[in-house]
Structure 1
Amino acid sequence: MKSPTKTLRLLTANIQAGSSTRRYSDYVTRSWSHALPAGQKRSSLDAIAQLASGHDIVGLQEADPGSLRSGFTNQTHYLAQRAGFNYWSHQPNRRMGGVASSANGLLSRLEPVEVQDHPLPGRIGGRGVLLARYGDGKEGLTVAVAHLSLGTNSRMSQLDFISDLLSDHPNAVLMGDFNCMADRPEMQLLYRKTRLQPPGCLVPTFPSWRPERAIDHILTSDTLNVVDTQAVPAAYSDHLAVKMEVQVPEESLR
């Protein structure tokens, strides 16, 4: 008899701290929005909260944990409240003076039994992976949220570290902004050392106004059944978000 499964709705989104980027020139003309609280950040966060509310587990990248540019608002907490998530966690991992800060975030309707915060190796510090465990023991579902470096060598060491973290977890999900395509040589570490699989279809996510590169991913182990994957706007971020429906063994959540 086939084991019963539960369908989970997953979302990963690089929210660019609520800043608006709609064309390459905005990186220059709107650079002030990455340091100052002015602009449409609150309305952008509200739009992201509306998107997140239709999901069970959400991974966030570039969420401000409470600095000048966010008006000292912990954006992960704000989104959890606005979108109705009972469980949330964040991992501040990059501080730029007292002006700006960046974090990975997790929003969850299911209660994790444990959340771990791991700094990632790399030539320049300030990257991390947030890992949440659901269910009991080794067979429980493990969900990791990461934002990888731009440089290939740093990504290689980061993916090697993440592979070691997930190698003993047969029911696993890794989501986030990888800053690379899923078929890059450094990604092969994940596929060799864990049960994570390359995505079944390419979903371009960057830049959001003319998506050409699939660099935001939700990777699942071969024990999970992916039903659907789509790219969707994350308010005014320069990345599209990725949403997925996946069937997981019910026993991995108990």
Structure 2
Amino acid sequence: MLSANIQAGSSTRGYQDYVTRSWSHVLPAGNKRGSLDLIAELAGRHDIVGLQESDPGSLRSGFTNQTHYLAQRGGFAYWSHQPNRRMGGVASSANGLLSKLEPKRVEEHSLPGRVKGRGVLIGTFGDGDDGLTVAVAHLSLGAQSRKSQIDFIAELLGDHPHAVLMGDFNCDPDRPEMQGLYRNTRLQPPADCVPTFPSWRPQRAIDHVLVTPALAIAAMQAVPAAHSDHLALSVELDVPEHAFG
């Protein structure tokens, strides 16, 4: 599996780029297509991919649905996206789910928070309570909003034995607001915290792939997602065959 905040294909190589290249977040200039091709090459080496900050088709992406583009270029037969935040027709952001396996069901949920525009996208593979559930989320910057979002996700995932929650949490896994997730679901804190932000000098572990005990993580590493300001997390996961139906 892969979880990647792709920053809509924009390039950020240092803090100064947030100022000097701020135009790239609202205009289609820059080599976004080249960045997407690099991300597609990375994504294509995985079976299931969760995306954050994938533009669903606005001015800054040249009106390209980036999730669909990555699905085509990466060889994924199935894809879904959840547009969350729109800034007119200039820029937009979405969660995305790419899969080489057919999901039985895909659900979209808006997340609570002081500022609207966050969501969780959930794909279910297999049948019944033993099926694999994969959730992709991008949480808020504020701790109080994150807490309400995490509590909401915990209700959705409940007692699922084969659950994965991946995405950009904007916080370390041991933050107080994360504790409700561990108490009210079978998801566990990561055994190792892998720094993912900023990508040019990773210091903070704010991107995570959390799993239940029935799903063993065999390997996990942070890898560049083209020139995004986040590193992606690549995870080798041991999933029981019956979880796919």
Q: Which amino acid aligns with 2:107?
A: Q
Of 140, 152, 167 in structure 1, the residue corresponding to residue 143 of structure 2 is 152
**Matching residue within 5, 13, 19 for 1:14:** 5
Residue 161 of structure 1, aligned match among 135, 152, 171:
152
Query: Which of these residues, 127, 140, 164, is aligned with residue 118 of structure 2?
Result: 127
TM-score normalised per structure 1: 0.96
Deviation at 1:242, TM superposition (A): 0.3
Task: Provide the C-alpha distance between the structure 1 equivalents of 2:228 and 2:105, rounded to a whole number of angstroms.
Answer: 30
Instruction: Report % sequence identity.
Output: 74
Q: CA deviation at 1:97?
A: 1.1
Q: Secondary structure at the match of 1:186?
A: helix
SS in 1 for 2:219: strand
- 1:218 aligned to 2:209? yes
Secondary structure in structure 1 of the residue aligned to 2:210: strand
CA distance in 2, matches of 1:170, 1:178: 22
Which residue in 2 is equivalent to 1:44? Answer: 35
Shift of 1:223: 0.9
Matched, 1:62 2:60: no
* Structure 1: unaligned runs, 5 residues or longer: 1-9
Give the conservation status (yes or no) of the 8 Å contact 1:168–1:194. yes
Partner residue of 1:115? 106
SS at match of 1:203: coil
Q: Give the paired residue count.
A: 245
Q: 1:105 aligns with which of 92, 96, 105?
A: 96
4+ long deviations beyond 6 Å: none
Instruction: Say what the alpha-carbon RMSD is for the aligned residues.
Output: 0.4
Map Cα deviations across residues 56-97 of structure 1 (whole Å, 9 max, x no partner): 000000000000000000000000000000000000000011
Partner of 2:240: 249
Equivalence for 2:19: 28
Task: Give the secondary structure class of the aligned counterpart of 2:236.
Answer: strand
How far apart, CA to CA, are the structure 1 residues paired with 2:159 and 2:233? 26
- Structure 2 stretches of 5 or more lacking a match? none
Q: How far, CA to CA, are the matches of 2:12 and 2:87 in structure 1?
A: 20
1:87 and 1:194 map into 2 onto residues whose CA distance is 27
1:1-32 C-alpha deviation (Å, 9 max, x unpaired):
xxxxxxxxx00000000000000000000000
* Contact 1:60–1:104 (8 Å) recurs in 2: yes
Instruction: Judge conservation of contact 1:138–1:168 (CA < 8 Å) in 2.
Output: no
Match of 2:227 in 1: 236
